Amino acid sequence: MVRLRAYRRFFVVAWQFLPLLWAYTRDRNRFVFFGSARQVDVETQRERANRLLESLLTLGPTFIKLGQLLSTRPDVLPPAYIDELSKLQDEVPPAEWEEARRVLETDLGPVEERFEEFNRNAISGASLGQVYRAYIDDRLVAVKVRRPGIESLIEADLRVIKFSLPLLLRFVQDAQAFSLENLADEFAKTIREEMDYEREADMLREIRANFEDNDRVLIPEIVDTHSTGRVLTMEYIGGTKISNVRELDERGIDRHELAETLQRTYLQMIVDDGVFHADPHPGNLAVREDGAIVFYDFGMSGRVDSFIQNKIVEFYIAVANQDIDAILDTLIEMGTLSPEADRQVMGDVMELAIADVRGEQIEQYRVNQIISQIENTIYEFPLRLPSNLALVLRVATVVEGVCVTLDPDFDFIETATEYLTEEGYREETARQFAEETGRELWESTQASIRLPQTADRTLAQLERGDVTINVDIEDPNDVFDRFAKRLIYGLLLSVTLISTSIIYSFRAWQPAVVPALLSVFIVYVLYRSFTKRRKGIRARPQFTRQSMRQRREE
């Protein structure tokens, strides 16, 4: 049944994406089967991104989630697409009550027996679930119910995505192809996890335990007796939406302190605890009268291993110290930036990003602006983002946006630097640096002592002729392969031209037509070998050495 539905969905999806695929085909060859490649300007990219956005909305929940995931992946799409897809909101009209009721009664039993009172009007609707208010023994609770029938639709759509991936890979560059192959598996894993309310309950409990002694952070308690894999019941904690600045002011809440609390909370989740709430948009954050922040919806949550935690700390410290080399080294060590990327260009990008957002004081700049400018360039480099690091990137930018809404002068980096200093991370990093430097000096000293002996042995081997040199030539751009093909084409062209001349000289013009036509074909193939460009969704480079010089002169 799922397979049959997947076949039907495949044609629906193909019909939606056909205009975009046709456009990308013509980017490779202007006249589809032949012709030069087309350069796509940013305005055209925006138009296409808007059409992609409309198609994703039309196709429903799975593709809305896919668009949200793609909006966090600047290693897959150009900046114009990222900007458009960032507009996707996970808000759709709730399903009919009777459909939601069937899910509730299948998992929990009769609604009237399990709940003292149940409000049938959903207070929020999302692509995968919807939330209702109810009472259990005079206790107000929120009941999250998975959208009826969503499982079969998502499984069918995941099959469609898997079927379509080989076709899609024909339209992207090698670096993006690598990321897309990983992203498909990542997306399937992520959306299945988000549908599993038992996993969400486990993540919520773990994060709640980490803030148990913090009265500035409130996380709802799970009601285990009324929770399953498709129904999640938790205590209802009301509050003012965190982006409602006017109401916060009326309640006398210090918005700067609120922004600082939010930022420190996420730093603790990511840097200290390694488990974090990954969907911090204003709809999932509320504020109590005492200024405590309430967190909702843990369906999108993630984990960070200790290695990435350490690298995130190093990245923050490098940005605070304006140490460009350390920033690049950290990005490479995290696997985010390819070691083959042009360090000079990336260094210039970092310097510009910091200079563009620097205020009057030395550390008046914001990390999301730095990330934004990096995103404008990383699409041009061989790069991919590990899945949880992509979530961390998304969290950092969204949280900073919420903080700036609360306090336009909020300094993200200053708060992060203070937190890392208070927790002892900066001192620990300095200590590790000193230890590594001392170890490297000791190893260098030992190597310098062994050098004369090694050199003496090598010279003795050279004198005896007992030295073998192995050369391994790397050719990532297939230079030798292209050269060999052109050489063969040239030889074949010479042969066919000579054959044509000899046959024609004997006044046998009809047989001469065959090698002549073959010569024309070889000329075409040889010409294509010199003019053929890389296939893919093309974006103009955002930063080049020339543009760097121009911006500095300005």
Q: The whole model's pTM is what?
A: 0.68
Instruction: Tell me how far the alpha carbon of residue 331 is from its chain's centroid.
Output: 14
For residues 49 and 338, what is the distance between their CA atoms, to the nearest angstrom?
27
For residues 109 and 246, what is the distance between their CA atoms, to the nearest angstrom?
43
Question: DSSP 3-state assignment of 314?
Answer: helix
For residues 186 and 193, what is the distance between their CA atoms, to the nearest angstrom?
11
Span 124-158, pLDDT tens digits? 877 788 899 999 988 999 999 998 888 888 888 88
> What CA dihedral angle connects 17, 23, 28 and 30, to 10 degrees?
150
Span 48-63, pLDDT tens digits? 888 888 888 888 888 8
pLDDT of residue 91: 63
pLDDT of residue 418: 87
**% of residues, the chain, pLDDT over 90:** 23
**Size of the chain in residues:** 554
> What CA dihedral angle connects 68, 72, 75 and 77, to 10 degrees?
40
One-letter amino acid for residue 365 of the chain: Y
Give 265 or 500, the one with higher predicted confidence.
Answer: 265
Range 298-317 average pLDDT: 87
Give me the residue label for tokens 């590790």. Answer: 432
One-letter amino acid for residue 240 of the chain: T
Instruction: Tell me how far the alpha carbon of residue 344 is from its chain's centroid.
Output: 24
Span 168-208, pLDDT tens digits? 766 666 556 666 666 777 788 888 888 999 999 999 999 99
Give the dihedral sign, CA 361/367/369/371.
positive
- DSSP state for residue 268 in the 8-state scheme: I
Span 358-393, pLDDT tens digits? 443 434 444 455 555 555 555 555 456 666 677 787
pLDDT of residue 198: 94
